Amino acid sequence: MDTRAIIVREIELVATEQKRTLAPLTDELVLLDCGLDSLSFAILVARLEDAMGFDPFAADEDFAFPVTLGDFVTFYDRAPVA
């Protein structure tokens, strides 16, 4: 399964479990407008670490936080795997 598919699947699962209504998940969607709250994002990042085996937010490098869903997918695609 590719990175985008994993991320979208996990977003949909978290939204369902947290009873959140999602906006259509396009690459241009601004993450703050997707329908998830901060708790949902924390759960999402933890689940993605389990699913993908790494947490790109834990890197020692400076990074620009992803703004859109497309940025978020790219952020995971380009993250160095330890």
In sequence order, the 6+-apart residues with CB closer than 8 A to the CB of 10 are: 44, 47, 48, 51
Contacts 24+ apart (CB under 8 A), 11-20: 11/36, 11/44, 13/47, 14/40, 14/43, 14/44, 14/47, 15/40, 17/43, 18/43
The whole-number pLDDT of residue 36 equals 97
**pTM metric for this prediction:** 0.89
State the average pLDDT over residues 22-41: 97
The whole-number pLDDT of residue 62 equals 72
- Select the more confidently predicted residue: 34 or 53: 34
pLDDT at 59 over 80: no
Do 36 and 20 form a contact (C-beta atoms < 8 A)? yes
State the average pLDDT over residues 39-54: 94
Read off the amino acid at residue 64.
Answer: A
State the average pLDDT over residues 53-71: 84
